[in-house]
Structures are given as structure tokens and as C-alpha cells.
Amino acid sequence: MIATIQYNSKKYTIDLSKPLDISIPLRASKSNVNAWYVDEPKIEPVEIDGDIVSVEHGACVNFNTISFNPHAHGTHTECAGHITEKVHSINQNLKQFFFLTEVITVAPEKLNGDFVISKKQIQFAMGNKKRDAIVLRSIPNTLEKLTKQYSHTNPPYLLEEAAIYLRNKDIKHLLIDLPSVDKERDECQLLSHNAFWNTNGKLRLDATITEFIYVPNSVKDGTYFLNLQIAPFENDASPSKPILFEISE
């Protein structure tokens, strides 16, 4: 199915039958990707009066309860409510779902014993392009990202200067293939979260951060349309399913 999108006075053609899914599915398994020191997600049939409500156990339906943490257990999209005292819901603040986006690949650099993504790296990859969203793929980019247990590993993260640069370029939607844009343990400074959402100025409630994506190596760097799909949770964050569409010439 071919669709033509008029975006900022320019027309783009995409093939809706060829989605590129960059989300990580949630599974009830110890090998589910994980961070932030919590147990794996659980998907279990409800038990009512001693009866297990699943077709396997004789019920007419499967009726599972799912227990998980959106920040720890897979691809999720969050709003400024993640770090503000006032409760802000991703479902109330993400109101548009298609965005012109740039996919870039960066190799985190070593700095003071950490691996980081710098402003210079993003600036070099983006150039003067104006986009509403950016997808950051870090290398090495292996299938291990689908199952990695990140707790206590000090994964790479985004420097505050890089988050400020993206905010100043008016990037509204930042997607990254790491557990967080910030350092695992940073004494609760959350420098990149605060910088991107501009918590010291006019709060960017319409801006989102999506973490724990996985961008296959078959997806080339360049310009795409992003469909950022969330579950309608009234919470600071929701599981999400970002989909890329190639743009036809």
C-alpha cells in the first residue's frame, strides 16, 4: 500500500506494506532484555477458585495477567513526567504519531572510564538536516541487545551537551538503543533527561524519549518516516512500537 504524506509543505511517498520494526518484544523470560535491578516480566494465566484460566487447562479462553516495568523490560516511550514532581502522562502529551526522522549510527567514545555519545558525533552525522525525530544506533550492534542484562554494567549514554544540541535543533523525539540516555549511576542528576526536556526552562511536554530500541544492521542510515506507536497508559512511560518507513524517491 503506497501512501503520500504532505509534511511541512513537502510531499513524501512511503510503502505502508514494508514497515521496519525497531522495537524489542516483551517476553516472560529471564532472557528478556532487562535493566534497573528488577526481575524478568511475567505473563501468567489468572487463577479463579482454583481453576487456571487458559485453554491448555480446559478454559475456553486464555486470560493472562502481565507484570512488567516499562522502563526496565523493553522498548518504551517516556515524557517529561518521568522526572518531574507533577505527574505528566505520555498518553496525554504524545498527540502526533508520524515524524520525519533521521537514523544515524554512532560509536560511543571513551571518556573518564565511560563510553559516551557526544555532541560532535551527532553533529557530524546529522549535518544541517532539520528533523523532528532522531534514531540513534550505537555500535557494536549485535543481537545481544535483544537479551542483554544491563544492570550493574554501566552502559554507554548520551552526554548532556548532546542532549542540549538536540533540544536546540528542535528534535522532539529521541530514540536510542540503550537502557537510558543517562549514566546508570549518576547520583540522580539525569543530566540528559533534564537537558532534553528543558526542566530549567519551558518544559517540553511534547517531546519524548524512547529507549531500548533495536535497529537491525539491514536498516541503513538516512531519512525515514517514523510511526511512534504507544499503548494508551496514563503513566509517565508506555511500552511502544516505533516503526520506520523508507521514503520512495
- The per-residue pLDDT for range 114-159, each reduced to its tens digit, is 999 999 999 999 999 999 999 999 999 999 999 999 999 999 999 9
Total count of domains within the chain: 1
Confidence of residue 8 (pLDDT cuts 50, 70, 90): confident
3-class secondary structure, 236 = coil
Lowest mean pLDDT among 7-11, 25-29, 75-79: 7-11
pTM of this prediction exceeds 0.85: yes
Q: Is residue 42 part of a domain?
A: no
Range of the domain at 226: 2-26+70-248
**CATH code, domain with 219:** 3.50.30.50
Residue 95, CB-side half-sphere exposure with 13 Å CA sphere: 4
Contact 131, 100 (CB under 8 A): yes
Q: Is residue 50 part of a domain?
A: no
- Residue 78 DSSP code: E
Percent with pLDDT over 70 in the chain: 100
Q: What is the largest CA-CA distance in the chain?
A: 63
Q: Is residue 113 part of a domain?
A: yes
Q: What are the φ and ψ backbone dihedral angles of 117, each rounded to 5 degrees?
A: -110, 125
Contact 52, 59 (CB under 8 A): yes
**Distance between CA atoms of 235 and 83, rounded to whole angstroms?**
12
Q: Is residue 116 part of a domain?
A: yes
Q: Is residue 95 part of a domain?
A: yes
Q: Is residue 54 part of a domain?
A: no
